[in-house]
Amino acid sequence: MSDDRDDLPPTGPPNPAGEPDPAGDPGAPGDPSAPASPGPGEASVPSGLVSAVVSLVNTGPVLLGAYTIAELTAVDAVVDFLEARPSDDELAEAVRSLAARELLLAGDGERVQVRGDLGIAVAFQQRARRVLDARTTGTVVGEPWRILLLPQPERICLMVRIDALGVHQIGLYKLEEAVRILVDWLPRGQSAEPDPDLGADDLLAGAERAALLTLVEYTAEGSAEIAGASTDLVLARKGGRLHLLTRDPAHDDKLEPKPVSGKDEIRDRLVSLLT
């Protein structure tokens, strides 16, 4: 979406808490973290929307639906974390599909309204300032190959699960639940002793399952995310043993083996990265 358009969550239908969503001041009480007014390309968040959704997430996961990369690109959602921009024809078809489902409506002037669950996803994506991008090899049919976690200040996470067909399943989860889902999806096995003679390339080439996790801190300029500092972790299961590699602080282009004592340690590392 170009910077001269704004994404707007629904202003008429009920919000997830069952109460009206008036398009009030985004900085009104109930959403103290919202900006006073949206910048170019940013979502205008109705008063109380964030606090209502956070309350729902604290009672259980809030699933926000499944979308294609073209549909997400059409509303500028998590686009800067995706790898390929769809063609103009694909974008045009995505806009028609969203409009047919009343998720995308024309607004005043050049503004548009992003409604329903997709509007909630856009609003929470724009609030995040870091993303954990996890990719794994050795997946099976029906299993995602990539998961994005975008933590929020309230210790909840926007989770995007991407499968081989490019379907993006989006939901909001409590932080601990999101990390548990991620850890269960990552390679598992008995802990291996760090082997300095085993190079990263050899380890990954012979691994039954491997995962790269990258945490990126970013700032926002309008609807564009600008990447900053990053942290990498590599997990690989080889011969039933689980290996952990981290970026060598003295040599950014080198991965070094680290001891790992099981899934609890991995979970603690991920929670530390996300908070």
Structural element, H or E, at residue 238: strand 224-238
Q: In terms of Cα–Cα distance, which of 225, 214, 58 is closest to 126?
A: 225
- Write out the DSSP string of 84-150: -PPPHHHHHHHHHHHHHTTSEEE-STT-EEE-HHHHHHHHHHHH--EEEEEEESS--TTS-SEEEEE
Global pTM reads: 0.79
Phi, psi (rounded to 5 degrees) for 182? -65, -45
Distance from C-alpha of 134 to C-alpha of 151, rounded to nearest angstrom: 14
- pLDDT in tens for each of the 275 residues of the chain? 333 334 434 433 334 333 333 333 333 333 444 444 555 555 566 778 899 999 999 999 999 999 999 999 888 877 666 667 889 999 999 999 999 999 988 776 667 788 899 999 998 988 888 999 999 988 888 899 999 999 999 999 999 999 988 899 999 999 999 999 999 999 988 888 777 777 777 788 888 999 999 999 887 665 566 667 788 899 999 888 898 888 877 676 778 888 887 788 889 999 999 98
Distance from C-alpha of 229 to C-alpha of 178, rounded to nearest angstrom: 23
The tokens for 52 are: 């209502």
The tokens for 155 are: 């210790």
- Give the end-to-end CA distance of the chain in Å, rounded to a whole number: 30
The tokens for 154 are: 């309230």
